Every structure is written in C-alpha cells, then in structure tokens.
Amino acid sequence: MKYFDRAALAQVLGEGIKEMQLDVSAQQQEQLLDYLALMNKWNSVYNLTSLRDPMQMVTHHLLDSLAAVPAFAGARNVLDVGAGGGLPGVVLAICRPDMNVSMIDTVHKKTAFLKQVKAELELTKVTVHTMKVQELEVSDKFDVITSRAFADLSDFLNWSGHLLAEGGKFIALKGTAPAEEQERIPAEWKISGLQPLQVPRLGAERHLIFVERSA
C-alpha cells in the first residue's frame, strides 16, 4: 500500500474537476477521497486494481470516471455491469445521490468491497449484486446500463439487454473507439452516439459509446 497523501490527492482531484467544469461539491470531493482511501487500503488483499499508486488512481480511476458523469444527466436508475472496484458506479453514486445505482460483479471479493464502500460512505441508493448479469432479474428495469472496460460490446449487449427499460440506453466507457466492435453489434441494437472524453493528466484516448434499440 503506497503512502496516501490526502492533501496532494485532493489538489489534483479538485484541479481536474475544475478543468472539466464539473459540478462536484466539496463534500462529494471528500467522499471521492474516502472511497479512494478504501480502495487503496483493500487493494493489497483484494486486488481491485492493478494500480498501486494513489496519485495514478486519481487520474486513471476517479477523473476518468468523473469525465463520464455528465452523460448520465436525467438518468434515474443505472446498472454498472462488471463493476469491479466500483468504477464508474461508486463515482456516479457519489456525484448523483438522487439516482439509484446498482452494481454487479461475479467476484465475491469485489462485491464485498463494494458493500463496505456503500456502508462506510452511507450510499443509501446503492445496490450490490454478486452474480452473472445474464442471471439478474429486476422488477424495475434500468434506463441506463453502463460498463467500463468490461467486455466486447456485443457480449455486453447480449448479456444485459434484457435489463434495459423501454427507451433506455447503454453507455460503454472505452479507451479507443473500436470500429470492429461497433460493426459486430447485434442487429437489434444501433450505435446512437460516440463521444471522445478529455481526461486531465491522462495521456490516453477515452470514449463513450452510446447504444440504443433499433427502431
């Protein structure tokens, strides 16, 4: 576990939020740092992320997920598939406390961590599932289903399409915008948008891919 310099991390987080012109309150920024501290603490045992440096976690995890938050404007009920350590699900739950956020992963260690985060940060609108997304059944379907570096786009749609509400959309967080993945998606779906993201201090491509049902 690398040294956690909260003041330095807070400065980089705050500067990144300002640069992206995001509406994240001081209290929410403290919650994001609390989440990062938990991830840093649990990571040595639970292997939540390959990154070990908290400063890298700020750019590659927090700012990376924060860049996508505006795309969820108007969302009411969101599912994060293959949530892992909670990206972007926990970040969404912190920044949008009005929104219901469900996170699903097959790895018990990871969902145990997510439940701990929910409890410690008092994220009352968060639900955590430990199972394959193909097996999940819900009474209230999701208006947005998201994932970050989870799977091939076709698999993501095939496995979780049954959970999308009428008129809902998928938002996939990807590095590059892989043309071959987009071309392979099943006929019942269509790419409705592609948005490049600029993440401060992250010298790498980031894209959001929006997918909706074909008419």
- The domain ranges of the chain are 6-213
Q: What is the mean pLDDT of the chain?
A: 95
Architecture of domain 6-213: 3-Layer(aba) Sandwich (3.40)
Q: What is the mean pLDDT of residues 9-26?
A: 97
CB contact at 8 A, 176 and 145: no
| φ/ψ of residue 2, rounded to 5 | -80, 155
Distance (Å, whole) CA 46 – CA 112: 10
**Degrees to nearest 5, angle at CA 22 with 68 and 121:** 75
CB contact at 8 A, 38 and 88: no
The model's pTM is 0.96
Whether the pLDDT of residue 126 is over 90: the answer is: yes
DSSP per residue over 45-93, as a string? HH---S---HHHHIIIIIIHHHTTGGGGTT--EEEEET-TTTTTHHHHH
Confidence band (pLDDT; 50, 70, 90) for 137?
A: very high
Q: What is the predicted pLDDT for the residue at 89?
A: 98
Distance (Å, whole) CA 93 – CA 47: 22
Specify the DSSP element, H or E, that contains 137.
none
| φ/ψ of residue 14, rounded to 5 | -60, -40
Q: What is the predicted pLDDT for the residue at 151?
A: 86
Q: What is the mean pLDDT of residues 88-104?
A: 98
Q: What is the mean pLDDT of residues 57-67?
A: 96
Confidence band (pLDDT; 50, 70, 90) for 2?
A: low
- Tens of pLDDT, residue by residue over 97-114, are 999 999 999 999 999 999
Q: Give me the amino acid identity at 5.
A: D
- Mapped onto helix, strand or coil, the DSSP state of residue 28 is helix
- Tens of pLDDT, residue by residue over 183-212, are 999 999 999 999 999 999 998 899 999 999
Distance (Å, whole) CA 211 – CA 191: 5
Upper half-sphere CA count for residue 114 (Cβ side, 13 Å):
29
End-to-end alpha carbon distance in the chain = 50
